[in-house]
Amino acid sequence: MLSVYYVLAVAEAVEGSQPIKYETYLLPEYFRFYAYIADTDGKALPIGTILGKNDPTWCIEQLIRVKPKEVLEVIETTIRGVNTKVKGHALVVFASPENSPLHPKNYLPVKPIYYQIANEQRHALVGYAITTAVQLLKAVKDKDGSITWPEFQHNEVSGEELRRLHKKAIDLSYTRLTPAHYETVARIYNEAVADGLSPNGVLMEQTGRSLKTVQSWTTEARKRGIKLATPKHSPTKRKAGR
């Protein structure tokens, strides 16, 4: 599992979005979620490392649709490399397009490992997206009765509530399994086998799911024709009396 360090998460409503009820919250039907990630190539940093605002980050941007029954759909995902114009996070633009820090000329190339991280983190990203949205997207009723989500306003949400929302979003995302999910399961499984580790144990550790669940994933992966390695030393039960 790659080491990932989230530096900043931001959500903004898509202009003209209709209000959708998500549990007790009112969210825009469409919003953009930005996750800024430290550019460490997926490697673990030394214990005690403190990331500063000027450390290079790359960005995963997602367009998310909120649907009834607390369903979140990722409509679009964009990966941007490190921005050389702005240290840290390029969020706000107060310049003409040619001088904007968001101009394509100011970005370094996207590294292949970014795609791997985005794939591994897709469930976690859904959790961060909803917790960021409920904090930063505060519904305000205008004089004409319409609902908007002005910038620089936010909701006060307890840490316990954020953890609950995060876990629920992740759990729901696992019920909408995609082909990419099973490819990731197979990769983690095969890497664990190659390292001489228990593949199901590694899957349980990395996903936080039960043995029964990860076994159902590997069974489905095999049914889909995805090759899974055979553990070199499969544990066997001892006979009675030995």
pLDDT digits (tens, 9 = 90+) for 210-235: 898 899 999 999 999 999 998 876 54
Three-point CA angle 205, 186, 203, nearest 5°: 10
Residue of higher predicted confidence among 138 and 175: 138
User: Binning pLDDT at 50, 70 and 90, where does residue 179 land?
Assistant: confident
For residue range 43-71, list pLDDT tens digits in order: 999 988 888 777 899 999 999 999 887 88
So what's the pLDDT on residue 241? 42
pTM: 0.73
The answer to whether residue 236 scores a pLDDT higher than 90 is no
pLDDT for 93 equals 53
How does DSSP assign 178-201, residue by residue? -HHHHHHHHHHHHHHHHTTS-HHH
Pick from 212, 222, 235: which is nearest to 189 by CA? 222
Q: What is the pLDDT of residue 206?
A: 78
Out of 151-160, 167-176, 182-191, pick the least confident.
167-176
Sign of CA dihedral 149, 152, 157, 163: positive
Could you tell me which residues are beta bridge partners of residue 22? 25
Percent of the chain whose predicted confidence (pLDDT) is above 90: 55
CB 111 within 8 A of CB 88: no
Q: What value, to the nearest 5°, has the Cα angle with vertex 231 and ends 208 and 204? A: 5
Is the model's pLDDT at 240 over the cut of 60?
no
CA distance linking residue 240 with residue 98, whole number of Å = 77
* Sequence spans of domains, the chain: 6-173, 178-223
Burial classification of residue 152, based on how many CB atoms lie within 10 Å of its CB (0-12 exposed, 13-18 middle, 19 or more buried): exposed
pLDDT at residue 87, as a whole number: 72
241 dihedral zone (left: phi>0; alpha: psi -120 to 50; beta) = left
- CA–CA distance, 189 with 204 (Å, rounded to integer): 10
What average pLDDT is seen over the chain?
A: 87
pLDDT the model gives residue 113: 95
Distance of alpha carbon 176 from alpha carbon 174, whole angstroms? 5
